[in-house]
Structure 1
């Protein structure tokens, strides 16, 4: 804002011919002259008014001055809807103060409790230990002949709790990864069956049999892969992926077999070759 100084020059009868003489008492009564001493040969008019950059038109009358003050007065604030609502409190209308950005949520507005996404790795701890592998007959085999392996694994359900929610998990075997201990491996979709269950003679090949080339002791193992479905009380739904349960190792002894043509059985001749 620009400070406007109203300064009236020296008005004298000789310097301002034709103008009416100034009466200090009259000017002071109108509010234009401060209480200053009259030097006798001049009248000094001054005053200070804060104005906009536009200096306006001189001289400014008392009425104009008051109008300027009115025009420059700040407009009253416009009440918001909440204030208007409070002013009309007897209308029965409920008033709500809107929240502001960044306002901290109340404890009652905490995020709804929900079950986090469940993955197959979350269910790994529910899976059973891997199946123990068994080689027929009695974990003993003959080099050059098939040894039949059987892994016992089946569909099963485990009850438990995950993320604080009770659930049931149903595991279904999807693959069997055999490691026979001589560097050979095989993957099947079945754990195998015994020769008796298959109706086959001993030392005949099966889907899960393996033939060792040399005698020795081998450590065989089978890992079982499972698919999973879970039930949270509203029905079963599948979980993508597979979980693997590692099986316990099992020693398999492989022997060599030699045949000989003899005239008598071992009962008849216990000292015969092979007896």
Structure 2
């Protein structure tokens, strides 16, 4: 009993570099491969478009469009396992309702936050060529990551989430001189 631990040893279950082959007919339990479409049921946030100024515009002048989107987490069950899914916006496709679209990596910014005057161009602004009412919207493409309790893992692909439409009214503006006519002062603005 003096050398009690002398018979203790380590047994090697397999040779390094060799992997044990599962027996035929036996499948290992666990999650099946996860595709980006499997995460659509977690409902990432849709983008709401805001047109400046006050969803109005003038023919021939830029109307500015912005949306708000940020990374967010949804929780639920996937294939019977509890998971967290983190959605991160990667691109924004602005559909201006007149057949024109623009894809940007930016959600846009208001004229005030940019320090710009109204009706000046921005990265997400659009100039309409005809008056009317247009249904504008923004579609957001999201990248996804999942967490099964062991950290975040990326899922290949992206989800494109269409946003609801927002009506934008575009008016025509006509200028007129009130101090003098163009015959009286031909060099005045608008003459």
Q: Same fold (TM over 0.5)?
A: yes
- Pick one of 39, 50, 53 that aligns with 1:134: 50
Q: Is residue 2:171 matched to residue 1:255? A: yes
Distance (whole Å) between structure 2 residues aligned to residue 260 and residue 154 of structure 1: 45
The structure having more radius of gyration, on CA atoms, is 1
Following TM superposition, by how much is the alpha carbon of 1:121 offset from its aligned partner in structure 2, in angstroms? 0.4
If asked which structure has higher relative contact order (CA below 8 Å, sep 6+), I would say 2
* Structure that is richer in helix per residue: 1
Aligned partners of 2:43 and 2:106: how far apart in 1?
Answer: 18
Normalising by structure 2, report the TM-score.
Answer: 0.78
Deviation of 1:199 after TM superposition, in Å, equals 0.8
The gaps in structure 2 that reach 5 residues or longer are 1-24, 180-191
Whether 1:191 and 2:107 are equivalent positions in the alignment is yes
Displacement of 1:170 after TM fit? 0.7
Which residue does the alignment assign to 1:226? Answer: 142
Residues 201-210 or 130-139, more deviating: 130-139
Residues in 2 aligned to 1:225 and 1:147: alpha-carbon distance in whole angstroms: 23
Query: Is the contact between residue 127 and residue 243 of structure 1 (CA under 8 Å) also seen in structure 2?
Result: no
Q: Report the equivalent of 2:75.
A: 159
Whole-Å Cα distance in 2 between the matches of residues 244 and 183 of structure 1?
A: 19
Q: Does the alignment pair 1:211 with 2:127?
A: yes
Root-mean-square deviation (CA, aligned residues, Å) is 1.6
Tell me which of 140, 150, 158 is aligned to 1:242: 158
**Aligned match for 1:177, one of 93, 109, 114:** 93
Deviations 1:94-138 (A, max 9, x none): xxxxxxxxxxx8xxxx74431111110001111324211111011
Check the 8 A contact 1:127/1:171 in 2, yes or no: no
Structure 1 residue runs of 5 or longer lacking an equivalent are 1-104, 264-275
State the secondary structure of the residue aligned to 2:140. Answer: strand
List structure 1 segments (4+ residues) > 4 angstroms apart after TM superposition.
none
| 8 A contact 1:129–1:246 mirrored in 2 | no
